[in-house]
């Protein structure tokens, strides 16, 4: 075969390959997000978000829904309502309605993990009200799935939301020494925008409590590395300081297993980016450090007591005790949570400061 004929064959094969790929993409519906709700009849309603792309126009969503008694039947029922095959390989976010969250979502999550096309970094969230209503919110030109995914990732990286995804949820679920948590998403009734509205706390399968937005910082320092956040601190003299770019770490020390007692060493570092007083002096910095340490101690102790009342362990204290004490067993950990004593040892360092007039 001459070089010229070989070149023509290669060009022809490339052209045909391009045609085949185009035909495949044109003949499927990529599901980018899903929502699951509990109906009044006790069934599960599934909603699938499908993106449509039109030339020189913003992304448009359309949603198809169906319901069934069994979660595994939802997808097959949705397929019957779609003109093209539904493909989950590009799914970014799965929302669980408030009612379903309180009944239990682990069966649905198990269905998700068994689908090989779905990645472990898939984002999960609980909604205030129905998931379908949230998916029908206002998302500018981004579409529901991309907007909600970016909302969660931004608040995880730059604000107070702890890390969550399908992989971490399943790790917590299968662990005997830690319980699950997921962000709460709500639709603003005034403008239709979607926003973070706290953190949902689970026992082994269902939502049993929540943490509001203004307490998320204190939960995150117990469970995650806290970076790039901001916190407004009120001082005893009536002034206020804004603390920014916080970095934190937490270390758990087992004091004893009989009785159950642990120490949590919490370290925070940041700088004052705003101060309502006249000047930031070393005395002011020292006052901010001591006030923040006391607030950290008070708020984290209150969270621990709340978890004990719910008999849950979202921090993973049980797993930490087991890793440090071979004789400690997790078989009856949930029953022992109320007897746990936790001592908080905070340390706050203000490394530098700046002021906005």
Query: Treating both helix axes as pointing N-terminal to C-terminal, what angle do 106-113 and 166-174 enclose, rounded to 10 degrees?
Result: 120
31-59: average pLDDT: 84
> Does residue 328 register a pLDDT over 50?
yes
- Region of poorest pLDDT, from 34-48, 57-71, 219-233, 272-286: 57-71
Closest CA to 179 of 188, 187, 171: 171
pTM of the model: 0.88
The strand pairing partners of 270, in sequence order, are 350
8 Å CB contact between 280 and 353: yes
pLDDT at position 155: 94
Could you read off the pLDDT of 120-138 as tens digits, one per residue? 889 999 999 999 999 998 8
CATH code for the structural domain at 220-357: 3.30.300.210
Closest CA to 166 of 210, 121, 129: 121
225-248: average pLDDT: 87
CATH 3.30.300.210 domain range(s) in the chain: 220-357
> Does residue 23 register a pLDDT over 70?
no
310-328: average pLDDT: 95
pLDDT at position 189: 84
Local confidence band at 245 (pLDDT 50, 70, 90 cut-offs): confident
251-280: average pLDDT: 94
pLDDT at position 53: 63
Instruction: Give percent of the chain above pLDDT 90.
Output: 63
When mean pLDDT is compared over 2-11, 183-192, 199-208, 347-356, the highest value belongs to 199-208
- Helix extents (H) in the chain: 3-26, 74-79, 98-103, 106-113, 131-135, 144-158, 166-174, 216-223, 282-310, 317-324, 333-336
Pick the more confident residue, 115 or 109: 109
């Amino acid at each position: 075969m001459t070089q010229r004929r070989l070149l023509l064959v290669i060009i022809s094969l490339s052209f045909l390959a391009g045609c085949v790929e185009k035909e495949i993409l044109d003949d499927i519906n990529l599901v980018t997000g899903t929502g699951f709700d509990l109906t009044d009849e006790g069934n599960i309603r599934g909603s699938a978000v499908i993106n449509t792309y039109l030339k020189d126009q913003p992304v448009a969503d359309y949603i198809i829904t169906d319901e069934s008694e069994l979660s595994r039947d939802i997808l097959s029922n949705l397929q019957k309502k779609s003109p093209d095959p539904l493909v989950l390989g590009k799914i970014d976010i799965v929302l669980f309605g408030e009612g379903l969250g309180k009944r239990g979502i682990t069966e649905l999550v198990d269905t998700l993990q068994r689908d090989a096309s779905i990645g472990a970094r898939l984002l999960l969230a609980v909604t205030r009200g129905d998931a379908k209503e949230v998916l029908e919110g206002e998302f500018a030109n981004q579409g529901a799935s991309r907007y909600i995914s970016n909302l969660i990732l931004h608040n995880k990286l730059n604000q107070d939301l702890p890390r969550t995804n399908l992989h971490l949820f399943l790790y917590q679920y299968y662990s005997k020494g830690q319980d699950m948590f997921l962000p709460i998403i709500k639709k603003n009734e005034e403008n239709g925008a979607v926003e973070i509205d706290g953190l949902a706390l689970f026992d082994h399968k269902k939502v049993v409590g929540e943490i509001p937005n203004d307490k998320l910082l204190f939960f995150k320092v117990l469970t995650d590395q806290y970076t790039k956040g901001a916190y407004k601190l009120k001082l005893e003299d009536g002034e206020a300081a804004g603390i920014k770019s916080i970095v934190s770490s937490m270390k758990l020390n087992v004091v004893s297993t009989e009785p159950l007692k642990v120490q949590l060493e919490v370290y925070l570092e940041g700088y004052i980016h705003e101060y309502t007083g006249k000047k930031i002096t070393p005395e002011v910095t020292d006052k901010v450090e001591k006030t923040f340490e006391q607030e950290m101690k008070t708020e984290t102790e209150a969270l621990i007591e709340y978890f004990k009342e719910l008999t849950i362990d979202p921090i993973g204290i049980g797993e930490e005790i087991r890793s440090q004490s071979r004789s400690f067993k997790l078989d009856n950990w949930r029953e022992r949570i109320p007897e746990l004593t936790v001592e908080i040892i905070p340390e706050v360092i203000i490394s530098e400061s700046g002021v906005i007039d």
